[in-house]
Chains A and B, each alone.
Chain A
Amino acid sequence: MLIHLEHVVRDYRVGDSIVHALHDVTLSIDRGAFVALMGPSGSGKSTLLNVLGCLDTPTSGAYVLDGQPVQSLSEDALAEIRQKRIGFIFQAYHLVPRMTAERNVELPLILSGVEPSERRERIGRALDLVGLARRREHRPDQLSGGERQRVAIARAMVTEPSLLLADEPTGNLDSKAGGEIVALLERLHEAGLTIVLVTHDPSVASHAERVISLRDGKIARDAPPETPNLPLGEATP
């Protein structure tokens, strides 16, 4: 078991009132799983993803990642966990616009102090993995949306994390480019990576092994997709 959440609550204070973004969530995810988080806006799926990614800490409850309780770790210790074990990809890619693809992929290695001599090889492998070895000198504005997201995936994978967290990775893409990204995620999953992705799109979720639906900060449904592996853009009603 890679992830275990026990009675996790995450409250936000908005002005005088308190918003319960996550309300008593208990959840386990096995190593190598491919999980989709679904639910309407404000259901708590992004908060859950941020908690899983150690970008946010639970107000109460326990979070054990890879056997290590993380809910009470210091900020620097959490940064270290993000650096070593977790890769992120985002709807808006969050590539640094002034940097080439290669340099964007290098960022996590810089932050973790990897020797420059070792970086080249690892960057090369990561870009090969996403099929962008030929585009390494391109800046984000010279790449298509799908290519940008692939650079972001290469950046997430360059530190060889055990968990990949994806927040609406196809949200800004057309169905063709989105389909390529989902196919890439499936390949990574087949190679053993644990993936948790947040999506609105049932056809994206249909590629996961398990779909967790959230409503009002609680798990409403937790089951395999009803119709697996729908082509993108063809959602069932």
Chain B
Amino acid sequence: MSRFRSSDILALATESMRVHRLRTGLTLAAIAIGVTAVLLLTALGEAAKRYVVREFADIGSNLVIVLPGHVETTGAAPTIGGAVRDLTIDDAEAVQRQAPAVRLVAPLSFASGTFSYGGRNRTVYVAGTTPSFETVRNVHVASGTFLDQRDPRRGEGVVVIGRRIQREVFRGENPLGKAVRLSQWRLRVVGVMEERGHSLGMDFDDVAIVPVATGLRVFNQSSLFRILVQARDPASVPQAVEQVRAILKERHDGEEDFTILTQDAMLATFGSIIEALTAALAGIAAISLAVAGIGIMNVMLVSVSERTTEVGLLKALGGRRRQIESIFLAEAVLLSGMGAAIGVGAGLLLTGVAAWFWPALPLQASIGWIAAVLVLALASGGVFGLLPARRAARLAAADALQGRR
């Protein structure tokens, strides 16, 4: 019984690949492009999903939001109808004092106004709040200090500005300690926020943060825009909601003329977006995997089919079916393995470059998809390389020699 050496199989396979440079190159390119496409598309999908999820994480943790006016469903902006009592700083303080499941409360007023300094004007969002806001909304100052005054009823004339306001209005000048005007009121800049971008529909880079009493006074408002409540931990969110509801209801003469939103409720509202993204991601990956697989199949079918005569010759020379199959299998696996390796390399390089140019949406090829696409490439290369070789090896040797299929 003769033995077929693996070194011989390998030599025969690489010989054929080396000589048919164009065919080998095209095959490698087809496989590599398929693999790279899968990696890039899945990386893009994953990055989009991560981006959305991170947006929600940025909102702050264990957040409960109280807004004036009552709506039955959560997630939509409340329609205000009838007599609605104001949400006041007193309400916020009562919640802070009386609700044991609540860690921090940040009252929030909101308006837009004209911010002026040195003859330059800019329309900005103005958020009035307390020092708790920094923790509750997970925002931080880059320089200077945040609001530091503990008594929310004292409206000091200070302002913390977003990065864009600093850039556009101060133009490289140090804004700290500068006197500015906000809709005719004089304020002193005490801090500049870290760059943050949009979150929950608010552009933090274009916002001016003032003490809540100042915010209400500047815009002549009586009601808070929101009361932001941070529960002690995720488990105590439901308790906090009930306590907040009870306290405010009591203060509002037994009427529930306010709406309480939780982060969970918001996540549920936006959950469908994430689900759709996940489904789209799976679809994109499936399509690109299928395309890559079909590309490999075509190349293999063509390259093996045109070598039917060679199969016939090997049979005439006494080659056994298994020997012939193993030569073609080795070649197919070598080709698809090399192609897949090139594709993974290119995919990693491209995602790396993309992540460097576009840090906001960091692309990252996931290990899972790399493994999946490697397995797919090897399997489809092997199967579609072996099938035509097997078909050829089963032909009568005389027919194969004539190139008849």
B317 touches which one: A46, A97, A107 (CB < 8 A)? A107
B interface, by DSSP: helix, strand, loop or mixed?
Answer: helix
- Which residues from 1 to 59 on chain B have a C-beta closer than 8 Å to any C-beta of chain A? 2-5, 8, 12, 15-16, 19-20
Q: A50-B398, A98-B19 are in contact. Are A108 and B317 (CB under 8 A)?
A: yes
Instruction: Decide yes or no whether A79 CB sits under 8 A from chain B.
Output: yes
A55 touches which one: B8, B12, B320, B398 (CB < 8 A)? B398
Looking across the interface, which residue of chain B has its beta carbon closest to that of A112?
Answer: B2
In the complex, the answer to whether A113 meets B2 with C-beta atoms within 8 Å is yes
Q: A82-B316, A98-B19, A113-B4 are in contact. Are A55 and B321 (CB under 8 A)?
A: no
Q: A55-B396, A79-B320, A113-B4 are in contact. Are A94 and B315 (CB under 8 A)?
A: no
In the complex, the answer to whether B323 meets A55 with C-beta atoms within 8 Å is no
A-B contact count (CB 8 A): 79
A79 touches which one: B313, B315, B396 (CB < 8 A)? B315
- Which residues from 181 to 208 on chain B have a C-beta closer than 8 Å to any C-beta of chain A? none
What residues of chain A lie closer than 8 Å to B401, measured between beta carbons? 55, 90, 94
In the complex, the answer to whether B315 meets A55 with C-beta atoms within 8 Å is yes
In the complex, the answer to whether A113 meets B5 with C-beta atoms within 8 Å is yes
Instruction: Decide yes or no whether B310 CB sits under 8 A from chain A.
Output: yes
What residues of chain B lie closer than 8 Å to A118, measured between beta carbons? none
CA distance A76 to B394 in the complex (A): 12
How many Å from the CB of B396 to the closest CB on chain A? 6
How many Å from the CB of A172 to the closest CB on chain B? 15
Q: 1/0 per position for A107-125, CB-CB distance to B under 8 A?
A: 1101111101000000000
What residues of chain A lie closer than 8 Å to B20, measured between beta carbons? 98
Instruction: Decide yes or no whether B294 CB sits under 8 A from chain A.
Output: no
What residues of chain A lie closer than 8 Å to B4, measured between beta carbons? 110-111, 113
Looking across the interface, which residue of chain A has its beta carbon closest to that of B322?
Answer: A76
In the complex, the answer to whether A88 meets B314 with C-beta atoms within 8 Å is no
Instruction: Decide yes or no whether A75 CB sits under 8 A from chain B.
Output: yes
Instruction: Decide yes or no whether A215 CB sits under 8 A from chain B.
Output: no
CA distance A88 to B134 in the complex (A): 89
What residues of chain A lie closer than 8 Å to B12, measured between beta carbons? 110
Interface size class of A (residues with CB under 8 A): 20 to 34
How many Å from the CB of B110 to the closest CB on chain A? 76
In the complex, the answer to whether B323 meets A111 with C-beta atoms within 8 Å is yes
In the complex, the answer to whether A55 meets B318 with C-beta atoms within 8 Å is no
CA distance A75 to B317 in the complex (A): 13
Instruction: Decide yes or no whether B397 CB sits under 8 A from chain A.
Output: yes
Instruction: Decide yes or no whether B309 CB sits under 8 A from chain A.
Output: yes
CA distance A116 to B6 in the complex (A): 12
Query: 17 more A-B contacts (CB under 8 A) besides A53-B316, A96-B313?
Result: A55-B397, A55-B398, A80-B320, A81-B318, A82-B315, A82-B317, A83-B317, A83-B319, A94-B313, A94-B401, A108-B318, A110-B4, A110-B5, A110-B8, A111-B4, A113-B2, A113-B4
Q: Which residues of A contact B (CB under 8 A)?
A: 46, 50, 53, 55-56, 75-76, 79-84, 86, 88, 90, 94, 96-99, 103, 107-108, 110-114, 116, 155, 159
Q: Which residues of B contact A (CB under 8 A)?
A: 2-5, 8, 12, 15-16, 19-20, 309-310, 312-321, 323, 396-398, 401
The 6 tightest CB contacts between A and B, nearest first, are A83-B318, A98-B19, A113-B2, A113-B3, A55-B397, A82-B318
